[in-house]
Amino acid sequence: MTKKILNNPKQAAWEALEGLNLALMGKTTLISEASTLLRTDIPQGKVALLVGGGSGHEPLFAGFVGENLADGAVCGNVFAAPAPDQILSATRAVNRGKGVLYLYGNYAGDNMNFDIAAEMAESESIATKTVRIWDDVASAPLDKIEERRGIAGDLFVIKVAGAAAAHVKTLEELECITSKARDNTRSMGVAVAPGSIPETGEPTFEIGEDEIEIGMGLHGEPGVAREKMMSADELVEKMMAQILSDLPFRTGDEVCLLINNLGATTMMELLLVNKKVRSILKKEGINVHDTLIGSYCTSQEMGGFSISLLKLDEELKTYYDMPVESFALTRR
């Protein structure tokens, strides 16, 4: 059982959100009853972007509230969707008269609760649209893409959507650009060791001392194969083969690359993974426009990482390149 530095484990997600708000030095505020972090400076007349989902994946989602990113993040308990009334409160709080885009990972609980909140918002004449992120190529075949889970590729979609939300005139435009960012994003994760749930101490899955799970989900959902440990280069070859063939990414494409730490993997490992990813992309004639490597979307202290690619076009690149400032991502 992993030792965690906690007070009351049942309050850990909420205490962490309070700590996050304090770290942001006045750039954000909290709606306590809705476990929602908000930008303090959402301009009137802006199309709003609300992200959210279960806690336990810090810094996702609340770490991406900020300039040219999300206007608010509504947070459920650990690995649990936020409730409809929380989402409704958050919706009211971010709405500036132009409606609210809901952007979140494609999980049954989140889908249900955001949909209920959307109906409640409609009855209050607040327009909403929804984009669900389903970037995990290991979680369902391509012809069932709408059954795939959302994992670290969330970050790319939030980054594009956040910048677009600051510039478009209508909710429909924002939905359109955000959907394109989602449709151009592919990810895959692997895990060598589980995380554990703060409240129970229980590991999220079991795995042998010499095993690795290919395609592991963000909450310990099974992947596509359990294999014996292999070299970093062999592993990256396997992951990239599945990611590249899925969209597919082709020679001449320009991409953004994210290597995301699922928790306890060292930066040394992520960096040497990057070396191999880049050699594969170079061989395929795919150009890398930007690289992010770090702990953006975690599963507690899970050992493992994911690789995500976002295929750019001129419009996506324009929005991707806009400067952002938030707890977890600041880029000039």
Q: Which residues bind a copy of itself (CB under 8 A)?
A: 1-7, 12-13, 15-20, 22-25, 55-56, 58-59, 63, 192-193, 195, 198, 209-210, 212, 229, 231-233, 235, 263-275, 278, 288, 290-291, 293-295, 298, 300-301, 303, 305, 323, 325, 327, 330-332
Q: Which of 98, 186, 219, 311 is catalytic?
A: 219
| Helices and strands of the chain, counted as H and E runs | 8, 12
| Nearer CB in complex with a copy of itself: 173/301 | 301
Rounded to whole angstroms, what are the CA distances from 105 to 193, 203, 256?
23, 22, 20
Nearer to a copy of itself, 185 or 298 (CB): 298
Measure Cα distances from 232 to 24, 31, 265, 297 in Å. 36, 43, 13, 21
Tokens of 18: 């309070």
User: CB 300 → a copy of itself: shortest distance, Å?
Assistant: 5
68/139 with CB nearer a copy of itself: 68
Residue 219 falls in the annotated catalytic set:
yes
Residue 324 phi, psi dihedral angles, 5° rounding: -135, 150
CB 81 within 8 A of CB 22: no
Q: Are 218 and 233 within 8 A, CB to CB?
A: no
Catalytic residue list contains 57: yes
Is 105:154 a contact under the CB 8 Å cutoff? yes
Which candidate, 285, 299, 106, 156, places its Cα nearest to that of 216?
A: 299
- Amino acid identity, position 204: T
Q: How far apart are CA 177 and CA 183, in angstroms?
A: 10
Catalytic pick among 16, 35, 50, 57: 57
Least Å from the CB of residue 42 to a copy of itself: 19
**Least distance to a copy of itself from the beta carbon of 284, Å?**
15
Rounded to whole angstroms, the Cα distance separating 21 from 38 reads 9
- Can you say whether the dihedral through the CA atoms of 187, 178, 148, 294 is positive or negative? positive
To the nearest whole angstrom, how small is the minimum distance from the Cβ of residue 313 to a copy of itself?
A: 19
Within 247-303, residue ranges assigned H as helices are: 267-284
AA letter at 173: E
Cα gap 154→133, rounded to integer Å: 6
Q: Give me the sign of the Cα torsion angle 275, 278, 280, 283.
A: negative
**Which one, 127 or 272, has the nearer CB to a copy of itself?**
272
Q: Rank residues 78 and 100 by Cβ distance to a copy of itself and give the closer one.
A: 78
Q: With respect to a copy of itself, which residue has the nearer C-beta, 143 or 209?
A: 209
Nearer of residues 52 and 84 to a copy of itself, judged by Cβ: 52
Whole-angstrom Cα distance, residue 24 to residue 114? 26
Catalytic residue positions, numbered: 57, 219
